[in-house]
Homo-oligomer: A and B are copies of this chain.
Amino acid sequence: MKISTKGRYALRMLLDLAEHEDEGYVSLKDVAERQGISKNYLEQIITLLKNTDMLKTTRGSQGGYKLAKLPEQYTVGDILRITEGNLAPVACLVDDVNMCQRNLFCMTLDVWRGLGKVIENYLDGITLQDILDKYHNRDVGDQYYI
């Protein structure tokens, strides 16, 4: 029951881009150095995000990545759904293909459904901007909305 490094690194990467928004396009090399993560590995992860509308990129010298939208328009849920594939805590919640035969009389299915909802509600309620604000001690309290 763990968020993979893919998801954790993706979040840190986008936060890094958000913090350096004013610098225009930011190279992965810079992000990798600041975050202490292998650049090659970050490339694989950012490829997942690039295939959505989350990022703008330019190649070549002075190229790099930047957020396509405002930090408050990215929820942690959005980001993790892309890197993790989905946020379901058990496979049978993902789709009909993964739904097991027992679903009609499964005692535990509703437990997992509820768990999935709780997780999604929480992660969809936090944006990059929320994280930045809290980190810089602006107007947000001690906890994210739980």
Confirm or deny: A143 has a beta carbon within 8 angstroms of a beta carbon on chain B.
yes
Given A1-B84, A8-B90, A111-B76, A118 contacting B131 (CB threshold 8 A): no
A90 to B7, CA, bound (A): 10
Confirm or deny: A108 has a beta carbon within 8 angstroms of a beta carbon on chain B.
yes
Chain A contact-residue range equals 35 or more
Chain B residues positioned under 8 Å from A91 (CB to CB): 2
Complex copy number for this chain: 2
Contact B1 A3 (CB under 8 A): yes
Given A118-B119, A146-B117, A11 contacting B111 (CB threshold 8 A): yes
Confirm or deny: A70 has a beta carbon within 8 angstroms of a beta carbon on chain B.
no
Contact B1 A89 (CB under 8 A): yes
A3 to B126, CA, bound (A): 23
Across the A-B interface, give the 7 residue pairs with the lowest CB-CB distance, nearest first: A114-B144, A118-B122, A107-B135, A3-B89, A15-B107, A11-B108, A118-B118
Chain A interface (Cβ < 8 Å from any Cβ of B): 1-4, 7-8, 11-12, 15, 36, 76, 80, 84, 87-91, 102, 107-108, 110-112, 114-115, 117-119, 121-123, 126, 131-132, 134-135, 143-144, 146
